[in-house]
Structure 1
Amino acid sequence: MRLIPVSSLQPGMKLGKKIYNEDGIILLSENAELSEAIIRRLRAHGLDYVYVADARTEDVVIQDLIEDETRRKALQEIRTSFRKLTEPTMKGLIYPYMGKTFTGLVESIMDDLSSREDAMIMMMNINSMDHYLYRHSLNVCVYTLLLGQIYGYSKEELTLLGLGAMLHDIGKTKLPLDLLNKPSRLTDEEFEQIKRHPVIGFQMLKDEPGIPLKSAHCAYQHHERINGTGYPRGLKGENISEFARWIAITDAYDAMTTHRVYRPAMLPDQALEVLYTGCGEWYEKSKLELFRDHVAIYPLGMTVKLSTGEQGVVVKIHKEIPHRPVIRVITDPYGAELKSPYDLDLLSQLSIVITKVDRMENKTEKTV
């Protein structure tokens, strides 16, 4: 299968990977034939990239980081719980179900990740048509738990980390939807209102039964930056929770690689480049390096252009050096399709580099 921008889809193409709605329910299955109406719907729902079937790359299999059932259940629980939190409540009312519910979800995700040998951080937003906040909460949890496992945290520590990651943006449930979904750049006043969500989230979680204080501090501190330029308190360095320092990276990465109402999704190579502009200033260098070493910056199925002028598709990623993947060359330097595509391993062909990837245009906005 191949990964292509929705803008490049043509009627008659067949879907290579399932597409889900906000409940994790399958909307379109593999091999579904795409029509003009379906393509318009995909675009309208904010999908920038999809996998399509391609005989030249039919051996390329993309394994999700978590199982379909885990994903479905997590999205449903997040959606149900977060929607309840948007409802007006009596002062002092607590939500005793949250700790048990989300701890169970985190444990299921941990079980799935433990079975993914040599897993890399892949984009989780390609094949879902759902509410940003719900999807973002799940993605940040998955990415952060994977990093935590690689880092060597104990199961107990991972549970605390996963809870903090899944609930890091819970404060946004108390902000106006029209503000969260504004399709244009936020004014300074609106951005200040958005910046209240870490404090709101901490206040919601700090006394919640079943939510440890260490997890609640992830909601409080995930927008703090190690040079003291973050918010809400301008904390520096190790005064910021270690868990929050991980989530700062995964939160920003997922926000950039997700379609937003004001811009298309970035691809991983772009997002990583942006993250590195804050290395040692916003983000801890050692944590960002571990993240970099486990991100598939050129995802499986992506179409790329080589310095030779040829085009090809990423068919294998080397875990040790992910930026030098195996490319299945499908066109010659002049753009003519090859009758017999062949594989080129950039790890052994060091003089050849990737010069361009098939991407949507995007622009940088304030990340919230």
Structure 2
Amino acid sequence: MRIASTKKVDAGTILAQTIYNENGIILIKEGKRLTEKLLQRLLNNGITYIYIEDGKTDDINLDQVIPDKLRVEATNTIKETFLELKELGLGQRSYVLEKRSEELSNVVEQILSEIQLSENALSLLADIFVSDNYVFQHSLNVTIYSLAIGVEMKFTKKQLTEIGVGALLHDIGKMFIEPDILQKPAKLSDEEFEIIKGHTQIGYDYLRKHHYIPAVVSHCAYQHHERLDGSGYPRGIQGEDIHPYAKVIGIADVFDAVTSSRVYREAMLPHEGLEILYAGAVDLFDKEMIEAFKRSVVAYPNGLTLKLSDGRVGVVLRQNSNSCDRPVIRILEENDEKITEPYEVDLEQTVNVTVKQVMVD
């Protein structure tokens, strides 16, 4: 299977990976021949990239660190919790959160266990889920990425649990913002953007009313948009004044935001998301944490077509556990011509060859 841009896939192409909704119900099953109508349905649901069969890469497998079943269960827990809290409103302390806190902690523990047991780096591009609310999937993805950074940085079990719950709840304030602003498909006005930015303060004020929620979790909601140079919000604090958990969640938050499809823009690929983080290293983000994230996440997922610096073209076959940006490539073209006998190139061993271009046409 290989990765293709949904808008450039021809009708008649066979889907190689099942697509689910957030409740785990199959929307389009693998092996289905895609029609124009199905392709448009995928685009309307924000699916920017899909896995397709092409006869040359059908043996390529996806390295899924987080099983589909766990993703569905975790998303449902987040959705149910957030919607119950939204219905009750901001006015008073909610015992729903206390009741659900054990379930949220269990979600964190299960995700953490999968990350610690897996030898593979994270590749959430392999997890195709259609969600009716970006906040639910985003909260889960940010939790997965944050825990991966925390594991790589050798945080203690207590710290990992705290940062996991903090990541799950980091955007809880958005549930109390009007949906027509939160999900607006067009560019936000300055006034609307200020309302959106208010989710950090709302989330902090809401969480700190609940004595069973650790203060550090409240600060994850409060500070995850702060930046090292003071250019963030809500307070514009700098450097060491930002809690380490918030620094980690801030990195995970940006990466997932740019690599997820939104109503107003297409998703970037993982390597592009990493480039954005590196551009902000030192000034905006903690460099050590970004390096830890780079070691945790796949830059070029299995099935992605790459053009190498020497002109050869191939598809990512598998990952190298010690070099998440230097995978093994199956070469399919040389000198602008398709070859009859594909072969492998290990970029971890072939240091004089680099990735020149990602091709998803």
For normalisation by structure 1, the TM-score amounts to 0.92
> Residue in 1 aligned with 2:355?
354
Cα-to-partner distance string for 1:186-229 (whole Å, 9 max, x where unaligned)? 22211111110011011121132542221111001100111111
Contact 1:24 1:76 in 2 (8 A): no
Distance 2:335 2:194 in 1: 50
Contact 1:99 1:208 in 2 (8 A): no
What runs of 5+ residues in structure 2 fail to find an aligned partner? none
- Tell me: CA distance 1:197–1:90, structure 2 relative to 1, closer, same or farther (3 Å): closer
1:303 equivalent in alignment to 2:305? yes
Q: Equivalent residues in 2 for 1:275-286 (5 A)?
A: 275-286=277-288
SS of the equivalent of 1:43 reads helix
Contact 2:317 2:328 in 1 (8 A): yes
Aligned equivalent of 1:312, options 311, 314, 336: 314
Cα-to-partner distance string for 1:42-72 (whole Å, 9 max, x where unaligned)? 1110100011223322222112221222111
Contact 2:139 2:167 in 1 (8 A): yes
Q: Equivalent residues in 2 for 1:127-142 (5 A)?
A: 127-130=128-131, 131-142=133-144
Report deviation, 1:315. 0.8
> Residue in 2 aligned with 1:364?
none
Contact 1:329 1:341 in 2 (8 A): yes
1:180 equivalent in alignment to 2:186? no
> Residue in 1 aligned with 2:292?
290
> Residue in 1 aligned with 2:31?
31
Contact 1:99 1:209 in 2 (8 A): no
SS of the equivalent of 1:57 reads coil
Q: Equivalent residues in 2 for 1:107-256 (5 A)?
A: 107-117=109-119, 119-124=120-125, 127-130=128-131, 131-208=133-210, 210-256=212-258
Distance 1:351 1:110 in 2: 36
SS of the equivalent of 1:56 reads coil
Greater CA deviation, 171-180 or 303-312? 303-312
- Tell me: CA distance 1:353–1:262, structure 2 relative to 1, closer, same or farther (3 Å): same
1:21 equivalent in alignment to 2:21? yes
Cα-to-partner distance string for 1:248-280 (whole Å, 9 max, x where unaligned)? 100000000001111100111111111122111
> Residue in 1 aligned with 2:51?
51
Report deviation, 1:10. 2.1
Cα-to-partner distance string for 1:83-112 (whole Å, 9 max, x where unaligned)? 223325372141332312211211121222
> Residue in 2 aligned with 1:6?
6
Report deviation, 1:124. 4.2
SS of the equivalent of 1:55 reads coil
Contact 1:17 1:51 in 2 (8 A): yes
Distance 2:129 2:314 in 1: 25
Letter in 1 for 2:41: R
- Tell me: CA distance 1:194–1:90, structure 2 relative to 1, closer, same or farther (3 Å): closer
- Tell me: CA distance 1:255–1:308, structure 2 relative to 1, closer, same or farther (3 Å): same
Greater CA deviation, 283-292 or 19-28? 19-28
Report deviation, 1:35. 2.0
Distance 1:88 1:324 in 2: 49
- Tell me: CA distance 1:199–1:98, structure 2 relative to 1, closer, same or farther (3 Å): farther
Contact 1:23 1:79 in 2 (8 A): no
SS of the equivalent of 2:170 reads coil
- Tell me: CA distance 1:210–1:109, structure 2 relative to 1, closer, same or farther (3 Å): farther
- Tell me: CA distance 1:16–1:241, structure 2 relative to 1, closer, same or farther (3 Å): same
Give the percent of matched residue pairs that are identical in Structure 1 and Structure 2.
Answer: 38
Contact 2:271 2:300 in 1 (8 A): yes
Distance 1:61 1:353 in 2: 23
Q: Equivalent residues in 2 for 1:21-100 (5 A)?
A: 21-87=21-87, 89=89, 91-94=91-94, 95=96, 96-100=98-102
Aligned equivalent of 1:325, options 316, 323, 327: 327
Contact 2:140 2:168 in 1 (8 A): yes
Letter in 2 for 1:128: F
1:270 equivalent in alignment to 2:268? no
For normalisation by structure 2, the TM-score amounts to 0.93
> Residue in 1 aligned with 2:108?
106
- Tell me: CA distance 1:191–1:139, structure 2 relative to 1, closer, same or farther (3 Å): same
Letter in 1 for 2:296: H
Report deviation, 1:181. 1.4
Cα-to-partner distance string for 1:277-317 (whole Å, 9 max, x where unaligned)? 21111101111111122221111110111233332101122
1:260 equivalent in alignment to 2:262? yes
Distance 1:40 1:333 in 2: 35
Contact 1:221 1:241 in 2 (8 A): yes
What runs of 5+ residues in structure 1 fail to find an aligned partner? 361-368
Contact 1:24 1:75 in 2 (8 A): no
User: Number of paired residues?
Assistant: 358
Letter in 1 for 2:74: A
Across the aligned residues of Structure 1 and Structure 2, the Cα RMSD in angstroms comes to 1.8
